[in-house]
Structure 1
Amino acid sequence: MSTEAQAPAESSSSHIAVGGATSGLTINLHPLPILNVSDHLNRSQLTSAGPSKVIGALLGTESNREISIVNSFELILVASDGDVDMGEGSTSASANINPNLLNTTFFETRRDQFKQVFPTLDVVGWYSVGDSPTAEDVTLHQQLTEIIDTPIFLLFHPNHSPASQALPVTIYEAALAEGGKDNSTEGKFVELAYGIETGEAERIAVDGVSRGGMGGEGEESTVIANLTTQRNAIRMLYERVAVLLQYITAVINKTAKPDHNILRQVSALVATLPTMDAKEFREELNTEYDDVQLTAYLTTLTKQLNALSEYADKHNLLHPPPNDDFTGPHGGMRGGGRGFSGFDYAGGGGGGRRRR
């Protein structure tokens, strides 16, 4: 499922070529990369003492001139020791900076690992975080251009206004050179329009993430979240069944025009449901119910026995027997000591006789 494409916005950044020539790419962005970038930014802010550069690679597929971004992974930077040439379009101030560079060894290792797990996905670009592209972004993009062909650049905006209806994401590609020093676009980005593409599984996952922990802590939060999800699923199923029932009733009463395609689908759906009054169904239901109850009983019994054993150990530590020579030569109790269970132990060694 796709939504309407996000149109490029005007920007005053010196590294954006407004109205620059593009390669005509069609970008489809899935929700997972957006969640990954947001999670990467939050973890970086919580674990870093100061501001740090957040970058990563974008995984996706490319067919003709259409690119789908479906996943991402994080990358790391290494300090640069020398000056970096930023291109003819860069200012003298930005050309003399000493930016960080991409750790290409780590990049290639992670790319090969993801290729083994997701053989259909390739690295189609990279992402970073900021309000607008910087000179360091230009340097990193030029470095990635030497590794992969025509990478795209996704910029996540952390200071995005909550009132805005647009996503806090902008996608760029390197501007095509126009020739001539006065209007050269070398070392600049041009913004691309993109669309949001989601599947059924992705919509369910995003809905679950947006609901959060539902309050509570620990196991309580998990239980409440699971129960809330089940309640919403049952309510949605009930509402859809009610719509079907209303339609069937209207067709029977001849107040609605029958649609044979819909009726065939309803018939196929009903045929897949189990017969609730069948003897086999009732027996299977009772068997599963008994198994669940027995499992829950055994779990509770095991926990209680474990708690009782821990309590007995602690009691014996706090209340030792009155005589010092409580343990016999063979590891048994002797001397008529009284154990935790209230029995008196008579006799020595390990074969003592219990008596009330």
Structure 2
Amino acid sequence: MASSSSSGLTFKLHPLVIVNISDHYTRVKSQLNLPPSLTSTSSAATSNNNNNNSNGGENNQQPPPRVYGCVIGVQRGRTVEIFNSFELIYDPSTRSLDRSFLEKKQELYKKVFPHFYVLGWYSTGSDAQESDMHFHKALMDINESPLYVLLNPAINPAQKDLPVTIYESGM
């Protein structure tokens, strides 16, 4: 998928990135929907969601989870090519990013793909949110102008385009 922006940059988003984000979202969502008997040993976030779903029904009305990660690739001139992505550990309640995890993932990717750089980050949802700025600012020491890739996991049969939006940082 390639598209242009108002800044004159051309973005090339490889399918692997979309698959990775979708997989990340699907895994987190399925973990949150496990029956309470199976989640007693799960993380605190999962058990908190189970407490909210104490009616035992299949139709929990919780908002869909948001997942976060980095997108990596290269920029050659006015073309930005996003090749891959990896998950990040982010706690929205404390607005903290696990920096040691991020640094370890960067180090591992640099060994295999020495020319790839962290271009920005991704999340899932229907729209960018005010709270996303905390995550965005947390990555600005790695990339002073990070991209934001937003994947909308909601299925809309009428929509013909992929539900992906790439936001550029304002200068």
| Secondary structure, aligned partner of 1:155 | strand
Counterparts in 2 of 1:31 and 1:42: CA distance versus 1, 3 Å: same
Gaps of 5+ in 2: 33-45, 50-63
Letter in 2 for 1:132: D
**Does the aligned pair in 2 maintain the 1:99–1:136 contact within 8 Å?**
no
Letter in 1 for 2:107: D
Letter in 1 for 2:89: I
Q: How does 1:172-211 map to 2 (within 5 A)?
A: 172-176=167-171
Question: Which residue does the alignment assign to 2:16?
Answer: 32
| Secondary structure, aligned partner of 2:142 | coil
Q: How does 1:25-174 map to 2 (within 5 A)?
A: 25-48=9-32, 49=46, 50=49, 52-78=65-91, 100-174=95-169
Instruction: Report the Cα distance in structure 2 between the residues aligned to 1:23 and 1:160, rounded to whole angstroms.
Output: 30
Deviations 1:126-182 (A, max 9, x none): 100010011121111111112223110000001141221100100001223xxxxxx
Larger relative CO (CA 8 A, sep 6+): 1 or 2? 2
Counterparts in 2 of 1:58 and 1:4: CA distance versus 1, 3 Å: closer
**Does the aligned pair in 1 maintain the 2:147–2:166 contact within 8 Å?**
yes
**Does the aligned pair in 1 maintain the 2:121–2:147 contact within 8 Å?**
yes
Instruction: Report the Cα distance in structure 2 between the residues aligned to 1:114 and 1:120, rounded to whole angstroms.
Output: 9
Question: Which residue does the alignment assign to 1:246?
Answer: none
Deviations 1:46-91 (A, max 9, x none): 1133354300110111112211001111000136xxxxxxxxxxxx
Looking at secondary structure, tell me which structure has more strand per residue: 2
How many positions carry a matched residue from both structures?
142
Percent identity for Structure 1 against Structure 2: 39
**Does the aligned pair in 1 maintain the 2:14–2:83 contact within 8 Å?**
yes
Deviation at 1:23, TM superposition (A): 4.0
* Alignment RMSD (CA, Å): 2.0
| Secondary structure, aligned partner of 2:139 | helix
Gaps of 5+ in 1: 9-21, 80-97, 177-356
Deviations 1:251-287 (A, max 9, x none): xxxxxxxxxxxxxxxxxxxxxxxxxxxxxxxxxxxxx
Provide the TM-score with structure 1 as the length reference.
Answer: 0.37
Letter in 2 for 1:59: I
Larger Rg: 1
Instruction: Report the Cα distance in structure 2 between the residues aligned to 1:100 and 1:162, rounded to whole angstroms.
Output: 34
| Secondary structure, aligned partner of 1:174 | coil
Higher mean C-alpha deviation, range 29-38 or range 58-67:
58-67
Looking at secondary structure, tell me which structure has more helix per residue: 1
**Does the aligned pair in 2 maintain the 1:123–1:148 contact within 8 Å?**
yes
Instruction: Report the Cα distance in structure 2 between the residues aligned to 1:4 and 1:64, rounded to whole angstroms.
Output: 15
| Secondary structure, aligned partner of 2:168 | strand
Q: Structure 1 residue runs of 4+, over 6 Å off? A: none
Counterparts in 2 of 1:31 and 1:4: CA distance versus 1, 3 Å: closer
| Secondary structure, aligned partner of 1:145 | coil
Counterparts in 2 of 1:106 and 1:4: CA distance versus 1, 3 Å: closer
**Does the aligned pair in 1 maintain the 2:2–2:10 contact within 8 Å?**
no
Letter in 2 for 1:63: R
Letter in 2 for 1:153: Y
Instruction: Report the Cα distance in structure 1 between the residues aligned to 2:66 and 2:16, rounded to whole angstroms.
Output: 21
